[in-house]
Amino acid sequence: MNQVLDLVGIFVFALSGALVGVRRRLDVVGMAVLAEMTALGGGILRDLILNVRPAAFSSVGYVLVPVAATVIVFFWHPQVERVMPAVNVLDAAGLGLFCAVGTEKALDYGLSPLHAALLGVTTAVGGGILRDVLSGQIPALLYDRQLYAVPAMLGSAVMAALYTLDLHGWPATLSAAVLAFGLRVAAVRLRLRAPLARGVTAE
């Protein structure tokens, strides 16, 4: 079940990466690279830090799913753009799932709750950072005006807290993931924004 949820999250993140490739007028190779990096980058960074073989290299599905997302966007990107509100909801679900699973895996490998939570955030947003850097944009994490990283931080913190209280398994993971998902959806619908420095106005 966890692998199925992983692949769903990977697919949604890959769609967003491939769409950035279309908007930046990249060819199909560039689209595929952005799709792969967006979908798998965070998990690869996490596993390299944990000094384990990245999960992306343990199953062919982890590589083929972003390729499938690239093909879909290559041929039907106008239609994908039209259903982006639904894709954004799935993206929020992927964010919640990845931050919770990433934190739990880091805790399983002996990291402290604080470091595990940081690694959970890395799992959730690392792919997006790589996507933005490769496409020549300032990483969205550095101007989190749509509260993308903040829900991941809170979801990771809750996962670490539950784990510390000896609450393990899918109920704890699901609770943390749902929290991050709910905060992200609320931020989008209510147009919540992270504050700027005092005296600075939004452009």
What pLDDT is attached to residue 145? 60
Q: What are phi and psi for residue 135, nearest 5 degrees?
A: -95, 5
As given in the structure block, the two tokens for residue 24 are 């930046």
pLDDT by 10s per residue, the chain, length 203: 556 767 877 888 898 889 889 989 999 999 999 999 999 999 999 999 999 998 888 888 899 999 999 999 999 988 888 877 777 777 788 888 899 989 999 999 999 999 999 999 999 999 888 988 998 888 877 776 668 889 999 999 999 999 999 887 788 888 999 999 999 888 888 877 777 777 777 66
SS3 141: helix
In angstroms, the CA 130 to CA 3 distance is: 23
What pLDDT is attached to residue 92? 85
In angstroms, the CA 137 to CA 21 distance is: 12
As given in the structure block, the two tokens for residue 126 are 């690392």
Q: Which of 63, 69, 68, 44 is nearest to 55 (CA)?
A: 44
**Rounded to 10 degrees, what is the CA torsion of 38, 82, 181, 152?**
30
Q: For residue 155, count other CB atoms closer than 10 A to its CB.
A: 33
Host H or E run for residue 95: helix 84-108
Question: What does the domain layout of the chain look like in residue ranges?
Answer: 2-190
